[in-house]
Structure 1
Amino acid sequence: EFRAPTTPVEEIVADTFADVLGVERVGLDDEFFALGGNSLIATQVVSRLGAALDAQVPVRVLFEAPTVEVLASSVQALAGGGGRKALVAGPRPDRVPLSLAQQRMWFLNRFDPGSAVNNIPMAIRLSGSLDVAALRAAMVDVLGRHEALRTVFPEVDGVGFQVVRPVAEVEVDFEVEVVAESEVLARIEQLVVGGFDLAVALPVRARLFAVS
Structure 2
Amino acid sequence: MILLTGFEPFGGDSTNPSWTAVLQAARMLTAEGLTVETVELPCVFGESVEVLKQAIAAHQPELVLSVGLAGGRSRISLERVAINCDDARIPDNKGNRPIDQEVVPRGPAAYFSTLPIKSALRSLQIEGIKGEVSQSAGTYVCNHVFYALMHALKGRAGTRGGFVHVPYASEDLVHGSTAPSMPLESMARGIAVVVRTAAQTGTDAKLSAGAIH
Q: Shorter-chain TM-score: which interval?
A: under 0.3
* Structure with the larger helix share: 1
Q: Which has the larger radius of gyration?
A: 1
What is the TM-score when the length of structure 1 is the normalising length? 0.24
What is the TM-score when the length of structure 2 is the normalising length? 0.24
- Give the number of the structure with larger relative contact order, counting CA–CA contacts within 8 Å between residues 6 or more apart: 2
* Structure with the larger strand share: 2
